[in-house]
């Protein structure tokens, strides 16, 4: 549906630029609040990738859960933790930054290299059929019912745990 309006490659390049730049900004921004907002932009970029990969339901879920819930939760935590403490920008100690850059760069380049080497064996064009959202429900509840139940239990356990942890004893 997006493909009709804009050439798909342009969409891909724009989404890649937005997502990666916002991800870098999220980690490097001076103030933590701006970092959280950059993180939200990066998540929206990922949601755009989901739309272009024919998963509109996941894109909606991504925006609702990540941008709507997780980033807002992070913003509230930043406000609760004392401001000057949260904003104190961390200068990596001697050589630490370079070492991290090397590790991350090597990891990313090796994974991308493996993907590029496997390229000829990977499909280059996706099958044309688009998956209806209604197909998601039967697979979710019919094929994988047990993970769904475990997820529900885990979710309530995590909520209770977060409440107990954050509770102030009087």
C-beta of 170: minimal distance to other proteins in Å? 13
Contact call for residues 97 and 89 (beta carbons, < 8 A): no
Q: How far is CA 76 from CA 62, 73, 81, 140, 155, in A?
A: 19, 5, 9, 32, 20
What is the distance between the alpha carbons of residues 80 and 19, in angstroms, rounded to a whole number?
28
Among 46, 49, 40, 92, smallest CA distance to 67 is for: 40
Classify 132 as helix, strand or coil: coil
C-beta of 24: minimal distance to other proteins in Å? 6
Give 31's DSSP letter. Answer: S
Q: What angle do CA 26, 29, 31 make, to 5 degrees?
A: 110
Nearer to other proteins, 5 or 163 (CB): 163
C-beta of 39: minimal distance to other proteins in Å? 5
C-beta of 126: minimal distance to other proteins in Å? 5
How many residues are given for the chain? 170
What is the distance between the alpha carbons of residues 58 and 152, in angstroms, rounded to a whole number?
18
C-beta of 57: minimal distance to other proteins in Å? 7
């Amino acid at each position: 549906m997006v493909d009709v309006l804009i050439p798909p490659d342009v969409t891909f390049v724009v989404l890649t630029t937005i997502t990666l730049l916002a991800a870098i900004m999220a980690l490097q921004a001076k103030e933590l609040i701006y970092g959280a907002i950059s993180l939200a932009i990066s998540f929206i970029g990922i949601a755009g990738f989901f739309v272009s990969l024919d998963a509109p339901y996941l894109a909606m879920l991504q925006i609702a859960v990540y941008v709507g819930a997780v980033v807002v939760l992070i913003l509230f935590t930043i406000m609760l933790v004392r401001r000057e403490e949260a904003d104190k920008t961390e200068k990596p100690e001697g050589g630490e930054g370079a070492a991290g850059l090397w590790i991350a760069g090597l990891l990313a380049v090796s994974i991308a290299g493996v993907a590029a080497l496997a390229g000829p064996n990977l499909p280059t064009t996706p099958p044309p059929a688009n998956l209806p959202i209604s197909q998601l429900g039967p697979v979710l509840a019919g094929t994988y019912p047990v993970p769904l139940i475990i997820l529900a239990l885990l979710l309530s356990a995590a909520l209770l745990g977060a409440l107990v942890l954050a509770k102030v004893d009087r």
